């Protein structure tokens, strides 16, 4: 009987040792699994935060680039338009000055050189504008009309200037450029 009691005692002891091993294994596995789940959740939240930061920084970079380019474009048009009307004003001023017969040929060459610069500036600004946008199209129209004045007023033998028309076209061009500037600033503010 003692052997049966010993056998039962040894079996209980072995089972108890075996249960301890299972308890240790389950506890260890639970710890590893818990740590893995926490690590995975941290990775996912960090990854999402990183993606959100990347998207935010990309949007900021895009907005900065677009803003810089729009402002550069607007400033370039302003400078070109200012140069254009300075050239036109100079031409009209030269045209109004009396000139002697021997100086007519050299004056015509001077007016022709200025006319070429005016046409280049008009073409440059016109190519920078979008005809589908009303304000930009208004500026294009004013520039094309200015080009007609240049051609008609400064052609050899034609020495008259339609001053009121020129003044109106200049005002129209500057007003259109002001509206283009306002629209550009509105678009920039929408980017922020």
Give a yes or no: residue 18 inside a domain: no
- The answer to whether 145 touches 57, Cβ cutoff 8 Å, is no
Identify whether 140 is part of a domain. yes
If one counts the domains in the chain, the total is 1
In a domain, 19, yes or no: no
* pTM, to two decimals: 0.67
The pLDDT score that the predictor gives to residue 133 is 93
Q: What is the CATH number of the domain that holds 83?
A: 1.20.120
Q: What pLDDT does 93 receive? A: 86
| pLDDT at site 56 | 83
In a domain, 124, yes or no: yes
pLDDT at 20: 63
CA distance 21 to 17: 6
Let me know if residue 40 belongs to a domain: no
Smallest CA-to-CA distance from 70 within 136, 143, 159 is with 136
Successive 10-residue mean pLDDT values, the chain, 192 residues? 62 59 65 77 79 83 88 95 92 84 87 88 92 92 84 68 83 92 90 72
| pLDDT for residue 24 | 61
Q: Are 14 and 21 in contact (CB under 8 A)?
A: no
Give the domain extent around 145: 56-191
Could you list the beta-strand ranges (E) of the chain: none
């Amino acid at each position: 009987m003692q052997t049966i009691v010993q056998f039962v005692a040894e079996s209980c002891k072995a089972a108890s040792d075996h249960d301890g091993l299972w308890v240790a294994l389950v506890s260890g596995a639970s710890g590893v699994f818990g740590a893995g789940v926490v690590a995975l959740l941290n990775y996912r939240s960090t990854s999402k935060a990183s993606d959100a930061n990347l998207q935010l920084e990309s949007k900021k970079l895009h907005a900065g680039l677009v803003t810089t380019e729009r402002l550069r474009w607007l400033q370039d048009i302003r400078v070109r338009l200012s140069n254009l009307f300075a050239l036109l004003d100079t031409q009209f001023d030269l045209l109004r000055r009396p000139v002697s017969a021997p100086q007519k040929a050299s004056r015509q060459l001077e007016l022709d050189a200025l006319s070429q610069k005016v046409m280049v500036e008009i073409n440059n600004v016109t190519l920078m504008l979008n005809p589908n946008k009303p304000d930009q199209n208004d500026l294009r129209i004013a520039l094309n009309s200015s080009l007609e004045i240049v051609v008609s007023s400064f052609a050899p033998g034609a020495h008259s200037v339609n001053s009121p028309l020129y003044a109106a076209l200049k005002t129209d061009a500057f007003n259109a450029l002001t509206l283009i500037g306002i629209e550009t600033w509105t678009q920039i503010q929408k980017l922020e």
